[in-house]
Structure formats: C-alpha cells, structure tokens
C-alpha cells in the first residue's frame, strides 16, 4: 500500500490534513487491485514518498515522474503522483495522472470520482461530468461522485439537476453537511 496514506502529516501542515482521510480511503480501495498484482514500489517511488514527508513536494513530484517512467503500469505510483500534483495545484497534470490510474483500474469508482474532481478543477466540465457518471455507473450511491456532480450542476446553472442529484446524495448519505449546503443553494437558485 502507498506510504502516502498519512498525507498532510508532515508535508505542509494542517492545511492539507483534512484531505488525509479521503486520500486514505482512495488508496485503501485501490489496495486490493494492486495487492495481488505483485506491484513493488520502485526506488523512485520510495524516494518520492520520503521527499514528500520531508516537505519537499516539488522534488517528490519529480521523483514520481521518474517512477512512472520506470514503471508506468504501477497504480499506486500513478495515484501518488496525481495526489502530489493536485496538492501543487497542477490540476491539468493531476487530471492526466488520474486518467492513467483510471485506465489501470477502470472499475474503481473512487478513482473515477477523483478523476472527475481533477477535471472539474482543470475547467474540463465535460470530462468531469463523464467521469462522475462513470463512477456512479460503478456505484450508484458513491458519495464523492454525487457531491461533485451536484456541485458541477450548480456551477453550470443547472439548479434542477443539482437538486435531483443532491437529494439522491442525501438519501444515501443524510449526514453529508456539504450536501445540505448544496441543497439550499439549489433551492435558492430555483427561487424556492
């Protein structure tokens, strides 16, 4: 499993600790896909992890680039590289890396959802929409995919679609606080 499951603990302090749980879940869900495949981490990937924990994020990104050149089929390295690029706010590169990870594990709803969020951050709304729907096709009640699709619909002025999506989200995940905020935004946009 990726040693980056504790993302935020040493890198840039508390501002990214809130992302750690989501990243841990993503990487834990990817673990069964890589555990049986015998994927060993390259020296470059291990170096990237070490650099990340030393707070040398840009150096870590370069190390993961080398690791991917050495072993482009390594799912965990692709995910680590995508997460690093996202944290560096290099959204287009993060999207590309999540696309590569998604190709390596096409039936993983978490990776599809992460790809969609990266695409949305890159301004690629159509790609984001497609990836959110792909995640929901795999898992109809996927919390992050539903939340992202609701936000995308709100951002695109599709309040009625956002409301439908967020209601589905809250049926499955009634304690999702952001879902309740999006529901209120959708109602306001609809004049209700």
Looking at residue 121, its pLDDT comes to: 95
Give which of 90, 88, 97 is closest to 115, Cα–Cα.
Answer: 97
- pLDDT-wise least confident of 38-47, 86-95, 96-105, 143-152: 38-47
Q: What does the alpha-carbon distance between residue 135 and residue 129 come to, in Å, rounded to a whole number? A: 10
Is the pLDDT at 24 greater than 50, yes or no? Answer: no
- pLDDT-wise least confident of 39-48, 51-60, 160-169: 39-48
Contacting residues for 36 by C-beta, under 8 A, at least 6 apart? none
Query: Where residue 39 falls among pLDDT bands split at 50, 70, 90?
Result: low
Q: What does the alpha-carbon distance between residue 109 and residue 107 come to, in Å, rounded to a whole number? A: 6
* Cα-to-chain-centroid distance, residue 149: 13
Give which of 88, 141, 82 is closest to 116, Cα–Cα.
Answer: 82
pTM for this prediction: 0.76
Query: Where residue 40 falls among pLDDT bands split at 50, 70, 90?
Result: low
Compute the average pLDDT of residues 28-41. Answer: 48
Looking at residue 78, its pLDDT comes to: 92
* Long-range contacts of 115-124, Cβ-Cβ distance < 8 Å, separation of 24 or more: 116/145, 116/148, 116/149, 117/144, 117/148, 118/82, 118/86, 118/91, 118/94, 119/95, 120/148, 120/151, 120/152, 120/155, 121/86, 121/91, 121/94, 121/95, 122/91, 122/92, 122/94, 122/95, 123/91, 124/95
């Amino acid at each position: 499993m990726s040693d980056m499951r504790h993302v935020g603990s040493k890198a840039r302090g508390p501002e990214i600790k809130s992302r750690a749980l989501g990243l841990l879940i993503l990487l834990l869900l990817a673990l069964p896909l890589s555990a049986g495949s015998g994927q060993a981490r390259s020296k470059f990937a291990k170096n990237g992890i070490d650099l990340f924990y030393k707070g040398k994020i840009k150096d870590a990104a370069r190390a993961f680039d080398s690791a991917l050149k050495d072993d482009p089929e390594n799912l965990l390295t692709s995910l680590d590289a995508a997460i690093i690029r996202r944290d560096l706010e290099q959204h287009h590169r993060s999207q590309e890396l999540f696309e590569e990870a998604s190709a390596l594990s096409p039936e993983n709803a978490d990776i599809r959802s992460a790809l969609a969020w990266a695409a949305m951050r890159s301004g690629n709304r159509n790609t984001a929409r497609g990836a959110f729907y792909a995640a929901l096709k795999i898992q109809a009640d996927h919390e992050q995919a539903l939340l992202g699709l609701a936000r995308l619909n709100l951002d695109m002025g599709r309040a009625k679609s956002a409301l439908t999506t967020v209601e589905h989200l809250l049926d499955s995940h009634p304690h999702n606080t952001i879902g309740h905020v999006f529901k209120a935004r959708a109602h306001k946009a609809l004049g209700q």
